[in-house]
């Protein structure tokens, strides 16, 4: 039987975390690129909280979420790749995680490629028509305050979001 490095609960918490789309104006991208990072990459370290998060649902009931982990996606890169490219990415994930066979010829009880393939599959597989696990729950709009017309850029981002 395969041995995975994560428990089932850890896998579910990591694979099916709430997704947040990140849309940035060109000026905001330029500010972030001073550090050779996108805004999504800059915010990534703050997406895993080790404390409880509390919020109120629309009925006013307080809900507690333990160890909230968010998944930030750059809106411009969020479209799933074409089928042939997705197959190539899955194949690459498997080939890059292969370990050499032991010298004594024994067979390992685990499959090191499976976790890489599974994680890549969840990234490249498009969301199904009635699936809501991989849909966005929020959208973060970022505009540079140094832009000539930041409110117009914000309106443009909102219009792009609704297309």
pLDDT, tens digit, 9 for 90 and up, residues 71-102: 898 887 767 778 888 888 888 888 887 766 66
Instruction: Specify the pTM.
Output: 0.72
Q: How confident is the model at residue 66 (pLDDT cuts 50, 70, 90)?
A: confident
Instruction: Tell me the pLDDT tens digit for each residue of 18-63.
Output: 889 999 999 998 999 998 999 999 999 998 888 898 989 889 999 9
Q: How confident is the model at residue 2 (pLDDT cuts 50, 70, 90)?
A: low
Burial (0-12, 13-18, 19+ Cβ within 10 Å), 64: exposed
Domain ranges of the chain: 14-80+133-162
């Amino acid at each position: 039987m395969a041995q995975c490095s994560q428990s089932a609960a850890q896998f579910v918490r990591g694979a099916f975390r709430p997704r947040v789309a990140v849309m940035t104006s060109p000026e905001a991208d330029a500010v972030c690129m001073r550090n050779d990072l996108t805004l999504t990459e800059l915010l990534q370290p703050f997406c895993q909280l080790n404390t409880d998060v509390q919020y109120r649902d629309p009925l006013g009931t307080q809900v507690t979420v333990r160890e909230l982990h968010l998944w930030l996606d750059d809106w411009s890169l969020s479209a799933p790749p074409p089928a042939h490219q997705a197959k190539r990415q899955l194949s690459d994930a498997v080939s890059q995680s292969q370990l050499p066979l032991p010298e004594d010829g024994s067979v390992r009880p685990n499959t090191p490629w499976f976790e890489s393939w599974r994680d890549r599959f969840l990234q490249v597989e498009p969301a199904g028509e009635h699936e809501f696990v991989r849909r966005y729950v929020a959208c973060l709009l970022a505009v540079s305050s140094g832009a000539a017309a930041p409110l117009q850029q914000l309106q443009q981002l909102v219009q792009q979001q609704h297309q």
